[in-house]
Structure 1
């Protein structure tokens, strides 16, 4: 999780300007944690919610990892 909005905005800019123009997909899995807020996945969805190249998945526990990988791979081109 990014702890400041400055980090988040920098990540969003890097995704928009550097990564997405060169990649057909960006996948982000948010692992649930008692210590983090999970805010970054919400921020990604806010900024890229309609962009089919950005795939997000919430990973609640280790049993959910395979499902998240399937989500990522199922959206690839």
Structure 2
């Protein structure tokens, strides 16, 4: 099986998960960028990066709570 075939198979098996990941990332980055462009204008750059990194636990927390809600 070639690399292209394996990538195609992986993408077809995980299409919705990859789409949800991409949507979360775009919304998170857009929200943080909007906040720092409009609200936290004078905030230091490290705070911007800290908010971006906070997207990692926010991602796992969001999808964990979504999974728990769908089980109930």
Greater helix percent: which structure?
A: 2
| TM-score scaled by length of structure 2 | 0.30
* Larger strand proportion of the pair: 1
User: Which protein has greater RCO, CA pairs closer than 8 Å, 6+ apart?
Assistant: 1
